[in-house]
Every structure is written in structure tokens, then in C-alpha cells.
Chain A
Amino acid sequence: MTKADFTDETLMRYADGELDAATAEALERDMETDDDLVARVALFIETRAAAKEALRPLLDEPVPAELTASVERMIAGKRAAGVAPQSGAGKPEAVVIPIAAAREVRRPKPVWLLPVAASLVAALVGGFLGFRLEQGGDIPPRGDIIAGIDSPALRQALASVPSGQEQQVDEHRFRAIATFTDRRQETCREFELDSETRSTVIAVACAAEGGWRVDFAVAAPGDSSGYAPASSTEALDAYLGAIEAAAPMAAAEEAAALKAIREPSKQ
């Protein structure tokens, strides 16, 4: 009589208590007469125990007092003010450019972006990409930013430049950071745009019918060396979390996804 052929994953699920009762029962029956099967299961039980044991010392390690104090301060700040804590001192402040239209369409539930954005200074970038926004103004009229960013050269770059590479786009340096899918399985790209003298804009654009839709943009001032400071990427992280961005695609996967965007008819 042939035994069921249990895959490693099935054995692992058994070891982790994640296997359904019926399969677990069948497996246990076979294990009574199959030492090899027992040994394979044991590997998963033992690796779990060993991993847990090996990293226990890290849990026992005292948390640096500085870190605890810093977190306690943030908590106290939140309790006192009932508002989001400010970014750490000394970091350059990022400027969030809300994109009204995109937010409206793309937010099925409240996103993380908003509380984070509120904690950042709501100044706006003037003249970075050829658009001018009033100092201290609120949400700019829809289209300004998208129109500013959405040049044919940029669209072309979005659909072709592999992540990790740069290309000159109009008067800006375009740097592709990553390609990933969001919760709607749309292909999105994170990228940065530098101008010679001004800030770096970090943005996320998703492939939409007939082009790209810029859904998120943060302008990070200062640092002429390019590469946005960490505080501006926090807003980005929050945004990526909110759209449930998947992990960045590997190079081959990305190449295929971009090709599909360039040549939609061949899909």
C-alpha cells in the first residue's frame, strides 16, 4: 500500500501546528511506521526550537536606556498633546505635497499618510518642477503637481529605467528606486527626482491607462548630494504601508512588468 507523499511544507505545518486535523491524522498514522518521515518532521520541530533558543539572549539583552527614554518621551508627548509626535530633532523636515485628486480616488479607508503628514511642516515647495505654490498654502489645485511631474520624458523613464539606475529627464536627474505592486495589483514605481540646486522629490507613480499617475510626492530640502533624508522617507513608508505595497520586484520581474506597460497590446 502506498503512503501519501507528504511534502516538506506539509510536515512543517504539522510541526508548527498549522496543519488541518485530517491531514495531521493521516500523517501521524504514517509516522508510526516510517522513521524517515519522523526524522523529516523532527527537523522542523528542532529548527524551530533551536532558532527560538538561539535568539533568546537578544530578548534578555537590556534595551539601551537612551532608547527607552526616547520612546517614553514620545509617548508622554502623545499623551500630553494628543497629537502625533514631531520628527526627531536635527533631522531635515520633509515637505509633503498632498495630491488631492489621487487621495480621493485611492483611499478606501483612512491612510497612515495623514497623521504623518500632519506631523511634518506643511510648507510647500516653490518652483521645483516648474510649478509655483503659495507659501503656507493648503492643498494645491489638482493637476498642478501631476502636470508638473507628468512630462513625456518622465513617463518614458518610468516605463524603462531599471531600479537602481539614473537617467536625465528634462532638467532633472531621475532615479528609479523600486517597482512593486499595490493592493490593487497595479504596477507602481518609487522614484526620486533631483534638480541641480534644490530638493529631491520622492514620488510614487502607478501605471494607469495610457500613462502614469503620480499618487504620492514628498519634497526633501537641502542635501545637494541627492538622496532624500530619512525623515522624508518616513512619509513614504507610511504611504507604502497604506497602499499595501508588496516587496520590491526582482530585476527580471520588473523588466517584465515594465515591458507589459510599454506594450500593453501584447499582454
Chain B
Amino acid sequence: MTDTTDRVEDRLIAFLPNLRRFAISLSGSRDVADDLVQAACERALASADRFEPGTRFDAWMFRILRNLWIDQIRRRKTAGVQEDISDHHELSTGTGEREAEARMTLKSVAEAIGELADEQREVLLLVCVEELSYRDAAEVLGIPIGTVMSRLARARKNLGVAAGIEAAPARSDHSKGVRG
């Protein structure tokens, strides 16, 4: 029944760089990410028969990995560990600036992405970076497509402000809707 060209075990290795990038971007830590990727692969292989040939393998894998990550966050919160992982987000290669400095200087795009709210960052990663459709992103995140769109729009406006991505010639001040 399983299509030999569409088997999870045949596709996993080639997909590792993407999976790892998503994991690093979600967790902000390479160590955490590598564990997540490993756990997600293990899960994917164990549930390979759940993957429907013809559907998007990347979306399926992202969903598995993200579910693992969400559960880790839940546990960390419940355990009362207050460590905010985004404090040491490793998206950029440089060291993070102090907040006061950061407020004065524009951030790199990678830093700005790292500082987005989790729910905004993940949808940005899936759509803009991994090029999933809104519908596939909604699947991965388990949220309605309308929520994907509203979060994604907010993520990009916030990113634009933080990283100084100007909306072309600043002919008028149209800052409405931008969260300050």
C-alpha cells in the first residue's frame, strides 16, 4: 500500500536541514533543536503509516516536531521554570544586544524574528521561510486559517518595525495597526 517513492524513511535524511532550521527557530537553541529533531524523526518513523502519500511531507514533519515542542513548553511552564528561552535566542550568529541598545539600533532581521511572540514567529517561519500555504500552516498549527492570517500579518508588521524594513517610499505615516 505504501508508495515506495513516498515513504517517510526515504525522505527523512534529505529533510533534516529544514527540520533542524525550524526547530532552532522555534526553540532558539541548537541543543534543544537537535533533540527535538531526533525525537520528531523517531516519532515520524514510528507513525510512518499515518503519513498520507500525496500530502505534504514537510507540513507533516513540522507538525510532529512542533507538537513535541509545545509539550516541552507546557512542561517547563508547569515545572515553574521561569527561564525564557527567547532570552538567548540563537537565530543570529552574533551575540544578542542588550535591550537598551537594541531599542536604539535596528535589529538584524534574524534577531527581530527571534524576538517575535512565539505564535507569530512560528507562523512566519512556516509561511515565509518554509513556504507553506496558509492552509498547510493552519494544519501544522492546528488553528483556523483566519488565525494564521491575522498572526502572520501582525508578525510581519512587527518584524518590519523591529528590523526597520520600510514600506517603500515613506510617503505618509501609516503606522496604524502596528503594535508598539
Residues of A bordering B, CB below 8 Å = 8-9, 12-13, 16, 18, 35-36, 38-40, 42-44, 46-48, 50-55, 57-61, 63-64, 66-68, 70-72, 74-75, 78-79, 84-85, 87-88, 110, 112, 115-116, 119, 163-164, 175, 177-178, 190, 227, 230, 233-234, 236-238, 240-241, 244-248
B165: chain A residues at CB < 8 Å are 43, 46-47, 50
**Does B105 belong to the interface (CB within 8 Å)?**
no
Indicate if the CB atoms of A227 and B75 lie closer than 8 Å.
yes
B 153-179 contacts with A by CB, 8 A: 153, 156-157, 159-160, 163, 165-172, 174, 177
For the complex, give the distance between the alpha carbons of A208 and B103 in Å.
50
**Does B71 belong to the interface (CB within 8 Å)?**
yes
Q: A34 — nearest CB in chain B belongs to which residue?
A: B171
For the complex, give the distance between the alpha carbons of A218 and B146 in Å.
35
A79: chain B residues at CB < 8 Å are 9
Known: A9-B150, A75-B13, A110-B50. A58 touches B21 (CB 8 A): yes
B 63-98 contacts with A by CB, 8 A: 63-64, 67-68, 70-71, 74-75, 77-79, 91-93
Indicate if the CB atoms of A51 and B167 lie closer than 8 Å.
no
Known: A18-B134, A39-B168. A12 touches B153 (CB 8 A): yes
Known: A36-B171, A63-B20, A79-B9. A57 touches B93 (CB 8 A): yes
B 14-63 contacts with A by CB, 8 A: 16-18, 20-21, 24-25, 34, 37-39, 41-43, 45-50, 63
Q: A46 — nearest CB in chain B belongs to which residue?
A: B165
Indicate if the CB atoms of A12 and B9 lie closer than 8 Å.
no
B156: chain A residues at CB < 8 Å are 12, 43-44, 47-48
For the complex, give the distance between the alpha carbons of A190 and B78 in Å.
11
A16: chain B residues at CB < 8 Å are 127, 134
B166: chain A residues at CB < 8 Å are 43
A112: chain B residues at CB < 8 Å are 43, 46-47, 50
Chain B residues within 8 Å of chain A by Cβ, number: 71
B 96-115 contacts with A by CB, 8 A: 108-110, 113
Q: B46 — nearest CB in chain A belongs to which residue?
A: A84
B16: chain A residues at CB < 8 Å are 63, 67-68, 71
Residues of B bordering A, CB below 8 Å = 9, 12-13, 16-18, 20-21, 24-25, 34, 37-39, 41-43, 45-50, 63-64, 67-68, 70-71, 74-75, 77-79, 91-93, 108-110, 113, 124-125, 127-129, 131, 133-134, 141-143, 149-150, 152-153, 156-157, 159-160, 163, 165-172, 174, 177
The one of A36, A175, A238, A248 in contact with B47, judged by C-beta atoms closer than 8 angstroms, is: A238
For the complex, give the distance between the alpha carbons of A208 and B32 in Å.
37
Indicate if the CB atoms of B129 and A52 lie closer than 8 Å.
yes
B9: chain A residues at CB < 8 Å are 75, 78-79
Indicate if the CB atoms of B45 and A74 lie closer than 8 Å.
yes
Indicate if the CB atoms of B64 and A241 lie closer than 8 Å.
yes
Indicate if the CB atoms of A245 and B21 lie closer than 8 Å.
no
For the complex, give the distance between the alpha carbons of A247 and B144 in Å.
11
Indicate if the CB atoms of B167 and A40 lie closer than 8 Å.
yes
For the complex, give the distance between the alpha carbons of A245 and B47 in Å.
17
For the complex, give the distance between the alpha carbons of A237 and B64 in Å.
8
Indicate if the CB atoms of A55 and B25 lie closer than 8 Å.
yes
For the complex, give the distance between the alpha carbons of A58 and B92 in Å.
9
Indicate if the CB atoms of A67 and B169 lie closer than 8 Å.
no
